[in-house]
């Protein structure tokens, strides 16, 4: 789905202006979250974004500065991968420039909870990154910058772009940051100052667009959804799950992911049923681990999985359930649908208003899954009960949802719309 705010922009699902593609064809995507050889799945969506743009003819380089570990800490095992990370490498055909800088942007600065932390973070990043970013612009011969988040990239990105005469675009991905920006003047000022200097914003969902416009009402902003990976060669479902109705959930653990709420609801629904199994892939705190163990053979806690294994379990599952709050988009839901598995998600998720979702109703073939309100404690159990009551209908639902998802959540489609919005295209031959 494509949408644009009424101010400063035109609707863009394709190039409707009749303009020919711009000869500008090189982009530098700036992010603090990017895969590297020791962590090939961290920030994988950025690599997917860059690769798809490059395949389209927009040569995209990732600029992803890494934390320069102080000499006295370089023997610490937890920091070994940071020490070993190369400063330049390729992943999936995408060139990554990763200079080591003396700044790691810890959550205490990102949250803006400490007095002065927002301006302090912006100042630190400017001092640490401005020089390397300028060099990266020169090396990549960038025609434009795409910043992954206004906080903390806005100030330094727009400053360097202005010096070099480049357009700057910002892809805003954090619902947490935008909610704080709407409530707190220092963080709100970061967004307003970035808007005054950037050429436009990309958000990944309509709720994110609405949040951004609360902070910067006159922003030129376009909704461009993320793509999703498809499961590849899929082995047969484990024999011990034959005849079972499998509910799968996967997430890096944060309280807002709603995993405790899911386990509580599953325990209620599974009482008296031998067919239901809950499989969860996460790094649980002790209380969640204990709750899963209390379900006995009806629950399996796998721990963190590789992305490939998550996709495999999604395809095996009958339902993917993650009642998470404040998801800007939720790539996991798109991936589950592309695997042919219906989803259960919270009503405030970025995708909730654009998928075909049921409430407390049985599975229906023309729908994608179930939406659960945050303010109704029993809603997850009600949705689970209806979703798992008829596995045959659930399977038909997943098949029809998959057809829609495979067309919609396509990284090449994402790249095409992003390139058009930023007026980037093939460079003409001389």
166 pLDDT band, cuts 50/70/90, is very high
pLDDT of the residue at 113? 55
Domain 239-408 is classified in which CATH homologous superfamily?
A: Glycogen Phosphorylase B; (3.40.50.2000)
**Checking phi first, is residue 305 left (phi over 0); if not, alpha (psi -120 to 50) or beta?**
beta
Same fold, 2-227+410-421 and 239-408: yes
Taking the CA atoms of residue 189, residue 190, residue 191 and residue 194 in that order, the dihedral angle to the nearest 10 degrees is 120
427 pLDDT band, cuts 50/70/90, is very low
pLDDT of the residue at 426? 53
- Report percent pLDDT > 70 for the chain: 90
Tokens of 60: 């995209």
pLDDT of the residue at 429? 39
In the chain, domain spans: 2-227+410-421, 239-408
Question: Who's near 427: CB < 8 A, 6+ residues apart?
Answer: 23, 24, 25, 26, 57
pLDDT, average across residues 257-278: 95
Question: Who's near 115: CB < 8 A, 6+ residues apart?
Answer: none
Residue 424: C-alpha distances to residues 19, 24, 385 (Å): 12, 5, 48
pLDDT, average across residues 81-103: 88
- Which of the two residues, 244 and 15, has the higher pLDDT score? 244
Cα–Cα dist 372/356, whole Å: 13
pTM above 0.95, yes or no: no
Angle between helices 175-183 and 206-215 (to 10 degrees): 30
Q: Residue by residue, what is the 3-state secondary structure of the chain?
A: CEEECCCCCCCCCCCCCCCCCCCCCEEEEECCCCCECCECCCCHHHHHHHHHHHHHCCEEEEECCEECCCHHHCCCHHHHHHHHCCCEEEECCEEEECCEECCCCCHHHHCCCCCCHHHHHHHHHHHHHHHHHHHHHHHHCCCEEEEECHHHHHHHHHHHHHHHCCEEEEEECCHHHHHHHHHCHHHHHHHHHHHHHCCEEEECCHHHHHHHHHHCCCCCEEEECCCCCCCCCCCCCCHHHCCCEEEEEECCCCHHHCHHHHHHHHHHHHCCCCCEEEEEECCCCHHHHHHHHCCHHHEEECCCCCHHHHHHHHHHCCEEEECCCCCCCCHHHHHHHHCCCCEEEECCCCCCCCCCEECCCCCCCCCCEEEECCCCCCHHHHHHHHHCCCHHHHHHHHHHHHHHHHHHCCHHHHHHHHHHHCCCCCCCCC
Range scoring the smallest mean pLDDT among 54-63, 148-157, 288-297: 148-157
Cα–Cα dist 28/134, whole Å: 11
- Report percent pLDDT > 90 for the chain: 70
pLDDT of the residue at 343? 98
Q: How many CA atoms lie less than 13 Å away from 71 in the CB half-sphere? A: 0
pLDDT of the residue at 1? 37
- Which of the two residues, 419 and 78, has the higher pLDDT score? 419
Question: Would you say 156 and 86 are in contact if contact means Cβ atoms under 8 Å apart?
Answer: no
120 pLDDT band, cuts 50/70/90, is confident
Is the pLDDT at 430 greater than 90, yes or no? no
State the Cα angle at 283 between 292 and 339, rounded to 5°.
85
On average, the pLDDT of the chain sits at 88
151 pLDDT band, cuts 50/70/90, is confident
Is the pLDDT at 139 greater than 70, yes or no? yes
Cβ atoms < 10 Å from Cβ of 114: 11
pLDDT of the residue at 124? 78
CATH topology of domain 2-227+410-421: Rossmann fold (3.40.50)
The 10s digit of each residue's pLDDT in 216-251 is: 999 999 999 999 988 777 888 999 999 999 999 999
pLDDT of the residue at 9? 37
pLDDT of the residue at 75? 76
- Which of the two residues, 270 and 113, has the higher pLDDT score? 270
- Which of the two residues, 320 and 12, has the higher pLDDT score? 320
pLDDT, average across residues 181-198: 91
pLDDT of the residue at 105? 60
pLDDT, average across residues 255-264: 95
339 pLDDT band, cuts 50/70/90, is very high
21 pLDDT band, cuts 50/70/90, is very low
CA 152 to chain CA centroid, nearest Å = 17
Question: Would you say 151 and 174 are in contact if contact means Cβ atoms under 8 Å apart?
Answer: yes
Is the pLDDT at 13 greater than 60, yes or no? no
């Amino acid at each position: 789905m494509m949408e644009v705010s009424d101010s400063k922009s035109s609707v863009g699902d394709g190039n409707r202006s009749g303009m020919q593609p711009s000869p500008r064809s090189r982009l530098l995507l700036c992010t603090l979250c990017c895969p590297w050889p020791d962590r090939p799945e961290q920030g994988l969506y950025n690599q997917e974004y860059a690769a798809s743009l490059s395949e389209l003819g927009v040569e995209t380089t990732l600029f992803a500065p890494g934390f320069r570990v102080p000499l006295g800490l370089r023997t610490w095992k937890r920091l070994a991968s940071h020490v070993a990370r190369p400063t330049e490498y390729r992943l999936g055909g995408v060139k990554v420039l990763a200079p080591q800088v003396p700044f790691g942007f810890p959550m205490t600065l990102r949250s803006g909870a400490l007095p002065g932390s927002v301006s302090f973070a912006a100042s630190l990043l400017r001092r640490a990154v401005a020089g390397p970013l300028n060099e990266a612009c020169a090396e990549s011969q960038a025609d434009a910058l795409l910043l992954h988040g206004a906080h903390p990239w806005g100030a330094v990105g727009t400053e360097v772009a202005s010096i070099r005469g480049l357009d700057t675009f910002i892809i805003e991905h954090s619902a947490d940051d935008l909610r704080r920006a709407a409530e707190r003047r220092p963080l709100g000022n970061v967004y307003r100052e970035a808007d005054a200097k950037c050429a436009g914003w990309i958000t990944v969902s309509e709720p994110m667009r609405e949040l951004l416009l609360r902070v910067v009402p006159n922003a030129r902003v376009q909704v461009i959804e993320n793509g999703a990976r498809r499961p590849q060669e899929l082995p047969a479902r484990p024999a011990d799950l034959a005849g079972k109705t499998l509910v799968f959930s996967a997430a890096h653990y944060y309280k807002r992911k709603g995993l405790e709420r899911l386990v509580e609801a599953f325990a209620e629904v599974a009482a008296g049923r031998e067919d239901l199994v809950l499989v969860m892939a996460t790094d649980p705190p002790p209380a969640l681990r204990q709750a899963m163990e209390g379900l006995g053979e009806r629950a399996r806690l796998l721990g963190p999985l590789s992305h490939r294994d998550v996709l495999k379990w999604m395809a095996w599952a009958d339902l993917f359930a993650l009642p998470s709050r404040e998801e800007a988009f939720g790539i996991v839901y798109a991936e589950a649908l592309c695997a042919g598995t219906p989803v259960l998600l919270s009503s405030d998720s970025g995708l909730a208003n654009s998928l075909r979702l049921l409430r407390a109703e049985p599975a229906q073939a023309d729908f994608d899954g179930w939406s659960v309100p945050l303010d109704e404690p029993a809603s997850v159990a009600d949705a689970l009960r209806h979703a798992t009551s008829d596995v045959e209908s659930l399977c038909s639902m997943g098949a029809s949802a998959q057809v829609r998802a495979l067309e919609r959540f396509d990284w090449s489609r994402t790249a095409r719309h992003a390139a058009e919005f930023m007026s980037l295209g093939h460079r003409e031959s001389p």
